[in-house]
Amino acid sequence: GCYGPTGPFIHCGAALGMISLFRPYPTASDYGLMLSAMLVQAELIKESREYFAFLLSGVMFGLSMVPTMVAVWLGRNAGNANYLYNMTLVVNVFGSLTLSQWVRAGMRLRKRQHQLSYFRRVILDIVDEVVADPKAA
């Protein structure tokens, strides 16, 4: 990639995500903060290309259905608390899967960066040895 993710920022984003996951009632502002911290690093989104869009759409669907279920349950008295519980469960499951996919992508990028720096160091050591003593090579 063009730039590497920094470790403390990934940890901060993961901590924000975990805090928003363990709220008793999901709100769009909690998940908005989590998703904005995730979307700042586009390199991680590109790396987690497999399921990220699907999981993000599941979070958005759940967050859009929570007010509807509250209105059906409390406003019209047509449902019960299980509707709201189900939508809270949907939001939390999709949110945790989204966060885990993002952290997994960060781990893959960090591993790749460490491997690239190791191989670069090995190659530069070999080149330095050859330049220092060309007759030995």
Residue from 58, 53, 48, 55 nearest 105 by CA:
48
Q: State residue 76's pLDDT score.
A: 81
Q: Which residue has the higher pLDDT, 3 or 134?
A: 134
Q: How confident is the model at residue 4 (pLDDT cuts 50, 70, 90)?
A: low
Residue from 24, 12, 25, 33 nearest 103 by CA:
12
Q: State residue 136's pLDDT score.
A: 65
Q: State residue 60's pLDDT score.
A: 92
SS (H, E, C) 32-61: HHHHHHHHCCHHHHHHCCCCHHHHHHHHHH
Distance, CA of 38 to CA of 10 (rounded, Å): 8
Contact in structure between 5 and 44 (CB atoms under 8 Å): yes
Q: Which residue has the higher pLDDT, 124 or 49?
A: 124
In this structure, what token pair is assigned to residue 13? 């984003």
pLDDT, tens digit, for every residue of 33-75?
988 888 888 888 888 877 888 999 999 999 999 888 888 888 8
**What percent of the chain has a predicted confidence (pLDDT) above 90?**
20
Q: State residue 6's pLDDT score.
A: 63
Task: Give the chain's radius of gyration (CA, Å).
Answer: 23
Q: State residue 90's pLDDT score.
A: 92
Q: Please say if the pLDDT value at position 1 is more than 50.
A: no
Q: State residue 137's pLDDT score.
A: 55
Chain centroid to CA 20: 13
Q: How confident is the model at residue 117 (pLDDT cuts 50, 70, 90)?
A: confident
Q: pTM of this prediction?
A: 0.78
